[in-house]
Amino acid sequence: MQRNVEQRYSIKFCVKLGLTPSETIRMLRLAYGDETMNRTSVFEWHKKFKDGRANVQDDARAGRPVSVTIEENVTKVGNLLRSNRKSKPPIRTIAQELNLSKSSTHSMIKNRLKKQTREALLQALEIQGVKMNSCSFLMEI
């Protein structure tokens, strides 16, 4: 991200010098090599700066912010799991209680808390059970 902002300043400078977009991308490739922004982005930013844009930062985007997995929510999920240690609640129950999506709750449990979910544990036990049944069958032969 920082590299892109740096290149945008360079594009803005090239626009002030009166360089064309093709000349600008040639200059960027000399300076940044393989880490140069793609051609389309360079042309878009060149046009924006030529049309009078002064800010090199991205515009704010509409849509849902990616704040679901903030530390506060991770802590709440962890507390719920610790308080119900004996009867691990299903992900759906935790998600509904905290007003989160099921997938983000699952992601927090698996990736941030590094715990196995109930479903993963059951699946592992089923696989182990299948292996045990296969082994006992082979031993009988």
- List pLDDT tens digits, range 40-95: 999 999 999 999 999 999 887 776 656 666 788 888 888 887 777 666 677 788 88
Q: What is the CATH number of the domain that holds 34?
A: 1.10.10.1450
Residue 46 shares a structural domain with residue 81 = no
Torsions phi, psi of 65, nearest 5?
-70, 155
**Would residue 83 count as lying in a domain?**
yes
Residue 126 covered by a domain: no
pLDDT for 97 equals 85
Give the per-residue pLDDT at 90.
75
Domain assignment of residue 112, yes or no: yes
Number of domains in the chain: 2
- Quote the domain boundaries for residue 111: 66-121
In a domain, 86, yes or no: yes
Q: Which single residue is written with the structure tokens 């099921």?
A: 102
Sign, CA dihedral 32-37-40-44, equals: negative
Write down the pTM of the prediction. Answer: 0.46
Model pLDDT, residue 59: 80
